[in-house]
Amino acid sequence: MTSLLLCVLAAADGGLETFPDAKAAFTRVLERKPAILAVGEYHEIEGQGAKVKSAVKRFTTDLLPQLKGRAGALVLETWMTNGRCGEVEKQATAAVAKTTQRPASTEDELTTLLDRSYKLGLANHILVLSCDEYRSMLGDDGELDGEKSLTLVRRKIEEKALEVREKGEAGTPQRPLLLYGGALHNDLQPADGFEGVTFGPSLQSATDGGYLELDLLVPEYVEKDEELKAQPWFKEAMKLSAAGKTVLVTAGPGSWALVFPRTRARR
C-alpha cells in the first residue's frame, strides 16, 4: 500500500499549505466544490507505529460534520458478511484481514462513521458482494489474489458511485458524493500497471472534471516509511506537523494529501 500511495504523491509539485487544524484545511478543500470527493486514508497497521487516533476516526470526528447539509451520500469501502456464502465468504474475509493488517478496532470505527454520516443527513452505501465475487478474490491456494480483489473493489465502488449519481441522490457541486476508502482506488494519476484498480480517471470523466482526490496521512503511521521519506516535500511536512500544523500537499490537479498534526505526548 505504501508504494501505491506514492503513485499519487510522487507527482507533488512541492506546494505546501499549512493550517491551524484539519478542519481549516478541509474547508480549503471544500472550496473547490467537487461533485465527488474521494477520500483515501493511509490506514493504521496492527503493531506498527505509535498508538494514536486513526485517520478514519479523525475524519469522522473533525471533518465529516462539515458536510452536513452539503453532501448527499456516502459510499464506504467496506462490506458486511452475512454467512450466506459459507466457507468462501469466511476465506475471502480472513484473507483480506490478513493482507491489510488493520487493527480489530477498525470495524467499530467504520460503523461509527456510518452512524455519524446518517445522523448528519447523508444516505449511506456499502458494497454488496455475491458468492462468486467472494470466490473471485481468492487464488487456487486460498490466499488473496491482490490484483483481482483490488479490481473488484474498484469496480464495485465505481458502479455504486455512478448509480447514486444516476438516481440524483448526490454527485453534483451543489450536493456532492463522498467516497471513503484506502489511498489507492481514488488515485487520479495511477502508476503504470495499476490503471485497472483506480476509479479516479473514470469518475473524473463522468463528472466533467468535478472529481477531487484527498488522501489522509497520520504522521506517526508514515514517519519511518523509506519511500515517503525520499519525497522532496516529506521532511518539511513532518517538521510542520510536529509543530502542530496541518499540512495540505498539492499532488497534482485535483489531487491533494492532508498530513495531520503530530499528536502531542501526554505529560
| Residue 44 pLDDT grade (very low, low, confident, very high; cuts 50, 70, 90) | low
> By C-alpha distance, which of 173, 59, 75 is closest to 122?
75
pTM: 0.88
Residue entry with cell 455512478: 162
- Nearest-Å Rg of the Cα atoms of the chain is 18
CA distance 148 to 23: 36
The residue that leads in pLDDT, 99 or 34, is 34
Whether pLDDT at 259 is above 90 = yes
Question: Band of the pLDDT at 190, cuts 50, 70, 90?
Answer: confident
Mean pLDDT across the stretch 177-193? 90
- Write out pLDDT tens, residues 52-89: 999 999 999 999 999 999 999 999 999 888 888 999 99
CA distance linking residue 2 with residue 222, whole number of Å: 9
pLDDT at 256 over 60: yes
pLDDT digits (tens, 9 = 90+) for 206-233: 999 999 999 999 999 888 877 677 777 8
Please say if the pLDDT value at position 141 is more than 90.
no
Average pLDDT (96-108) is 72
Are 68 and 121 contacting, i.e. CB atoms less than 8 angstroms apart?
yes
* H or E element, residue 248: strand 246-252
237, 16 Cβ separation under 8 angstroms: yes
Give the pLDDT score at 82. 83
Positive/negative CA dihedral, 139, 145, 147, 149: positive
pLDDT at residue number 233: 80
pLDDT surpassing 70 at residue 121: yes
- Beta-carbon contacts of residue 181 (< 8 Å; ≥ 6 apart): 38, 39, 40, 41, 76, 77, 78, 153, 157
Query: What is the DSSP code (8-state) at residue 216?
Result: E
